[in-house]
Amino acid sequence: MPTLSDILLVEHQREALTQACATTVERHLNGLRSLRGLALKAGLGMFKTAVPDAIPRVVRKLLPDFAVALEPLHQQFLQSGDRDFSLFLRKNSAPATAALIGVLDHRVGASSNETVKMAYSKLRGSINDEMAAVLPELAKTISGYMS
């Protein structure tokens, strides 16, 4: 049985999935209206000035790890009889969110870039809420590439 990585990371669709996920994340960030959201948008704006393709670049790097992290949920989905992986992820949003954040925590923790570590530590308190908020749209995006 193919893994989530086997399905999502095939060469002919990997870049399209990367761009679709990056668009979903950017749309989410641009829609934030709270003070925290304004701060995130300001930080992202400065970062994108230095690295214009920052979000697609990060998604491209993290996508394989995200697929591996979501594999246990993918296996549960296959055994559940459910037909829509996005709905399954939404029903299991807490473990899905934890899996994705675990990837972020690990990657940032392993980074030698102190600026990235410092920036992430400042945002870490709100990452759970933001990941939970964007998960439904990300789940739809991912599911669109599973057939």
Any long-range contacts for 12-16 (C-beta under 8 Å, 24+ apart)? 13/145, 14/63, 16/145
With contact defined as beta carbons under 8 Å apart, do 21 and 138 qualify?
yes
Residue 113 confidence (pLDDT): 85
- pTM for the complete prediction? 0.90
pLDDT along the chain (147 residues), means of 10: 94 95 92 79 74 89 97 97 95 97 95 85 85 95 92
Question: 77: burial class by Cβ within 10 Å (0-12, 13-18, 19+)?
Answer: buried
Please report the pLDDT score of residue 46 as a whole number: 72
At 74, which helix (H) or strand (E)?
helix 54-80
Domain range holding 17? 4-143
* Helices and strands (H and E) in the chain: how many: 7, 0
Residue 109: alpha-carbon gap to chain centroid: 17
Domain count, the chain: 1
- Residue 5's pLDDT is 96
